[in-house]
Amino acid sequence: MAEPTSTPIYDDQGRELIVKVEGLQKYFGKNHVLKGIDLQVFKGEVVVLIGPSGSGKSTFLRCLNFLEDPTTGEIGIGGVHVTCGSHGGRFKQDVHQIRMKCGMVFQEFNLFPHKDAIENVIEGPVLVKGEKKDAAIKKGQALLTKVGLADRMDFFPSQLSGGQKQRVAIARAMAMDPVLMLFDEPTSALDPELIGEVLKVMKDLASQGMTMIVVSHEMGFSRDVADRVVYMDDGYFIEQGPPSEVFFHPKDERTKRFLRHILPEKDPRHAKELGIIAVEEELPEPDAAPLQAPVGAALNEDNLADNALPRIPLSDGPSGELPLPPGGEEL
């Protein structure tokens, strides 16, 4: 079998790109879920993806490491490049290489229930990468220690809390020496008191220079850790920028609507973290010009997909500024 090609990609300033995605599209049957996504992620960068349920966030992550078969587009990860939709030996080989370069952590942990923590961690390195078992155990023990589970190596998933299970899952993903870590809502299945311990492990990974794409609405985490926040809606990346921009000065109406309406309603805790409160509906003056839609339509969730909505009134300040973060702290 020919050696797979892996050629690092650099931008014109000499920075290494770990992810380069161009024109990525995904259909499930007739359902057009990803509608042409472009993304570049530099080495060591942390990108947080937010957006309403059903907008395609999980599908995007799953296409990146080919858990789903993307319909068209180009995906380059860690210097391995694949043209989606092609087939054949070369394609399969490159897809395999990309899978090996990505670690993924899911909402539901996905641990093997009949294996203890260390066995879960060494499974990939031994079976997929062909590492020697002794060496894999040593590395696995170091990883489990790093995520704070030195005393839980021989515990089975059923004997671990949700937070501990997710930390095993992170150690397991790291055991494959990935160049990129993908997290799909890693804390949303956890009881609130267990979320912090998982976010801390993720923060540690980020501070050690791991390149990460994280789907999460943990706003405090994003504010502290994300280099870039991307707002996704209806299969598109709508806007992106540093958290201070996207959270506090969103430009696109859809981002504003998500942050001001959907987040407080669906995710009051995370909205509160950002200091965003639900927008009170402003009733028009009795003699004001009629709205394009019945009063209240804008706040009706069924209508949120309709781009022909009247402009949603923005609260908190005459210029429509978003509220400052709690305590007015600087970001």
Ligand X SMILES: Nc1ncnc2c1ncn2[C@@H]1O[C@H](COP(=O)(O)OP(=O)(O)O)[C@@H](O)[C@H]1O
The residues of the shown chain that bind Mg ion, judged by CB under 5 A, are 57-58
Please state, in angstroms and rounded to a whole number, the distance separating the CA atoms of residues 327 and 229: 22
Smallest distance from the beta carbon of 16 to ligand X, in angstroms?
A: 28
Binder of residue 85, out of Mg ion, ligand X, none (CB less than 5 to 8 A by kind): none
- Residue 59 interacts with ligand X (CB under 6 A): yes or no: yes
CA–CA gap between residue 1 and residue 247 (Å, rounded) = 49
Is residue 53 a contact point for ligand X (CB under 6 A)?
yes
| 39 secondary structure, DSSP code | E
28 interacts with ligand X by CB under 6 A? yes
Pick from 5, 7, 11, 31 the residue near ligand X by CB under 6 A.
31
Nearer to ligand X, 57 or 228 (CB): 57
User: Judged by CB, which is closer to Mg ion: 60, or 247?
Assistant: 60
Could you say whether residue 54 binds ligand X (CB under 6 A)? yes
Regarding 105 and contact with ligand X (CB under 6 A), the answer is no
Residue with tokens 């639900």: 278
Please, what is the minimum distance in Å from the beta carbon of residue 185 to Mg ion?
Answer: 6
C-alpha to C-alpha distance for 94 and 6, rounded to whole angstroms: 9
DSSP state at residue 209: T
Residues 210 and 183 sit within 8 Å (Cβ to Cβ): no
Helix or strand run (H / E) with residue 10: strand 9-10
Q: Choose the stretch contacting ligand X; rule: CB under 6 A; options: 3-11, 53-61, 170-178, 310-318.
A: 53-61
Q: Name the residue nearer to Mg ion (CB basis): 8 or 54.
A: 54
d(CA 50, CA 166): 20
* Distance of closest approach, residue 52 Cβ to ligand X, in angstroms: 7
Which one of 13-21, 26-34, 146-154, 311-319 is the stretch in contact with ligand X (CB under 6 A)?
26-34
By the 8 A CB rule, do 34 and 24 touch?
Answer: yes
The C-alpha atoms of residue 123 and residue 139 are separated, in whole angstroms, by 12
